[in-house]
Structures are given as structure tokens and as C-alpha cells.
Amino acid sequence: MNYFSLNHKAPTVNFEEATVNGIAPDKGLYFPESLIPLDKLMLETIEFMSNEQIAYEVIRQFVNKSIPKKELRKIIAETLNFDFPLVKLDERTYSLELFHGPTMAFKDVGARFMARCLGYFNRNKKDQKIRVLVATSGDTGGAVAHGFLGVEGVEVIILYPSGKVSEIQEKQLTTLGQNITALEVDGTFDDCQAMVKQAFLDEELSTLNLTSANSINVARWLPQMFYYFFAYKELKPLHKKLVFSVPSGNFGNICAGMLAKSLGLPIEFFVAATNLNDTVPQFLKTGTYSAKPSTATISNAMDVGDPSNFVRIQQLYSNDTEALKETFTSFSFSDDETKKAMKEIYTKTNYITDPHGAVGYLGWQKIKEEFPDALGIFLETAHPVKFLETVEETLSTKIAIPQQIKELVINNKQSIKIKNYDELKLFLKK
């Protein structure tokens, strides 16, 4: 299978080229040229398969000849070496916990898969390392850094705004060592991002093999399909229709779920639950897509005013919005509604959600009457400890600190302070 650019002005490429390029030369997102439905027998016998077997069957056609079978199996095994528990909250509501990876955020899976693919593609070029350059406002950087930790042939340079990330987030970025370097920028997240963009455009750095680990990369996007298959595997014996509610920012995760459906996974309906950044809910209401600057909320990993993966969702439905609406809707929720939901879930079931998961829960609540025969699964995308202050304040309770975080806090921070682009360039050239 090959990938074409959604801007239609760039050559078709294979999985390796799509992963290495990240974005097509015409600035379009890569999209699979063809989709082969999965074997019906596989879906009928899925409960007898391991997560690794499922993942392999699901991703195989997308990777195709770019990675040999044995190597792909190894990459999958290393990517998925933690659990994806489904927690029942009431007769019809489940939380799919995607936060049991090393940085306790669901982006671990995509980052780990992508890192290992890049490592494989660069296997014979040990003298010519790939350098991944990332700007982070906090959460993504940790997952990317950890995902790439120890991957041979790849060096990761993370730029983060000094004093503007939480203590836990900073520790996740700065204590890894090995092939990960944290640059602490005297400025804002926007400054970090501007410097990264400038580096990619800088002719003088063109020999350095710079690449990005952006969420639009196919190798980060596609493995997110796995979650939906894992949930289906557990719920299949109940013979119920399934509705997924996905807390959405860049809409990559939900788009992967919809791709899973188009491969044959029987999912009845999708809800994209957003915070106040309501570009997509507005689009469904008015028919006009208008990107806007992002608004800060307590579910800050979803503060996105122009969700990059929405064009992929539209493509899946041949840009037919009416057809899309038959399986998809999107609602926006305020911070107050989110906090109220966190309290409600905690009071009723003793379950603690983070603000992102709570937005997902709200999406299901809003639609559940329309699907009286279905079970609702909301994706819990981050461990509550990652949003400690908000969670403890909202629920007036203390949450237990997981071992991963305890170990983190005692490690020493190591960062290199930089003030401007010239200093970044100097660092990269040495």
C-alpha cells in the first residue's frame, strides 16, 4: 500500500518515505491509497488472539514491504509492553485506560511505534544519525522523548519553555539522558515552535538529517487503531453495539478509530468530545470550517483551534458531510461541565478521571439516549496524576502517586539553556 498527499500535488510514497517525510512536500497529510478490509474470521476469533497478534494483523497492510514481518513483530512487541484495561463504571459505561505506558499518556503507543520504525529505517546509517527535533508545551514531549529513548541511530532534541511546564512534565523531559537532550528555552511554547520551524527551513542545516515527530506522522497516527480492537476484543462476548467517545484535540486518535471501522471493526458510532476549542462541533452545525486561535482549558492537551487530522476524517467519507454524520458527531464542553463530570463520576462510582477522560465521558452522556442498546466506551487518555492540581482540587481528595512518577521526581534534571535561534543552531552544528 502507498500513501498519497491530501493536497494532491506530491508524489505517492511508501510507508518508509511517509514516515521519514512526516508531511508531504506539498504540505499535505499522507493518506492510504487503498484499504483492504480485515479477514472476517480474524474479527470473529479476536478473543483468542493476543494484543500483539491483533496489532500485527491490523497494521500489516499499512507497513507493507517497508519493514520485514519478523522486524515488525518485534517493533509491535516493544511498543505494546503494557496493559490497556477496560474499566466498567456502570451497566452501559466503560473507561478504556490508555495511560499505562511509561509517560502515562496515550501518546506513548504512537511515539514508541514511530521511534522504532525510524530506528529500523536508519539501521545502516549509524554514522548519519536521524535527529528528531520537537517543541513541546509539556505533554507530547515526554511521550516522544521516552518513545525514542535508547533507539539506535536516532537522537532527540526537545525544546521546552523554561518555567512553563509542570514539575512532573519537566522531569519527564530532562532526566532521561542517553540519546535525549532537553533544551530549556528562555521564552514561550510559541517561541520554541518558531525555532523548530526555522531550523527545518534553514539551508545551512539541510545536511543534518532533521525530522519531526509530529502527530500527523503516519507512524504515530496508525497504531492508535489498536485501542479500538483491544476494547472490541473484551466486549465482543456481550453482543452489544459499541459507541466510542474520544476526547479530541488534533483528532488523530478518533480518526484512527474511524479507520479501524472502515477495515471492518463493528463500531456503531463515534463522538468527538472537545473542550471549548469547538472548531469541529461548529463545522457540523454550520457547514463552515473556520479555524481559530486556541483557547486555554483544564484539558490542555486538547487546546487545538485547527485540528490537523480532521481532513483525514473527511477523506474517509469522501468529503461527504452528510455521510459522515451518520457515524460521527462532535460536542464541546466547558471547564465547569468537565469538573462537574469529574465529581459526578467520582461520587457515583469512586472512579477518578483526568479532565480529558471526563470530556470523553460527557460526550457519551450526551448521546447515550439515542443508542439505548449500545455500550459506551470513553477513552481515558492520561493518568489523573498528570493533572494533579486540577484533579485534587476538583475532587477534594489526594491521589496516590504511581511508582513511575515517584522514581521520576528523585532524578536530577539535566538541560541546556538557550535564549534564541542562533544558540539552537550552534548546538545543532556542533
Ligand X SMILES: *Cc1c(COP(=O)(O)O)cnc(C)c1O
Q: How far is the CB of 139 from ligand X (least distance, A)?
A: 5
Give the residue, chosen from 245, 248, 297, 353, that forms a contact with ligand X under the rule CB under 6 A: 248
Q: Does 263 bind ligand X (CB under 6 A)?
A: no
Task: Output the CA angle 225-227-72, nearest 5 degrees.
Answer: 60
**Cβ distance 360 to 381 under 8 Å?**
yes
Question: How many Å is the maximal CA-CA distance in the chain?
Answer: 62
Phi-psi region of 239 (alpha: psi -120 to 50; beta: other; left: phi over 0): left
Q: Is 107 a catalytic residue?
A: yes
Rg from Cα positions in the chain:
21
Q: How far is the CB of 127 from ligand X (least distance, A)?
A: 35
User: Which residue stretch of 31-39, 64-72, 234-242, 249-257 sits at the interface with ligand X (rule: CB under 6 A)?
Assistant: 249-257
**Active-site residue, selected from the candidate residues 9, 74, 88, 107:** 107
Give the residue, chosen from 223, 247, 257, 363, that forms a contact with ligand X under the rule CB under 6 A: 247
x/- track of binding to ligand X for residues 294-313 (CB under 6 A): -------xx-----------
**Cβ distance 113 to 220 under 8 Å?**
yes
Q: Does 226 bind ligand X (CB under 6 A)?
A: no
Backbone phi, then psi, for 378, in 5-degree steps?
Answer: -105, 145
Which helix (H) or strand (E) element contains residue 290?
Answer: none
Give the residue, chosen from 21, 66, 250, 390, that forms a contact with ligand X under the rule CB under 6 A: 250
x/- track of binding to ligand X for residues 11-40 (CB under 6 A): ------------------------------
User: Which residue stretch of 61-69, 232-240, 241-249, 283-291 sits at the interface with ligand X (rule: CB under 6 A)?
Assistant: 241-249
**Residue 290 CA, distance from chain mean position:** 23
DSSP string, 104-147: SBTHHHHHHHHHHHHHHHTTT-TTS-EEEEEE-SSHHHHHHHHH
What count of Cα atoms within 13 Å lies in the side-chain half-sphere of residue 173?
28
Q: What is the DSSP letter of 131?
A: E
Q: How far is the CB of 65 from ligand X (least distance, A)?
A: 28
User: Using CB under 6 A, which residues numbered 99 to 158 contact ligand X?
Assistant: 105, 107, 139
Q: How far is the CB of 353 from ligand X (least distance, A)?
A: 11
* Three-state SS sequence of 156-175: EEEEEECCCCCHHHHHHHHC
# binding residues, ligand X (CB under 6 A): 16
User: Using CB under 6 A, which residues numbered 356 to 415 contact ligand X?
Assistant: 356, 381-382
Residues that bind ligand X (CB under 6 A): 105, 107, 139, 215, 247-253, 301-302, 356, 381-382
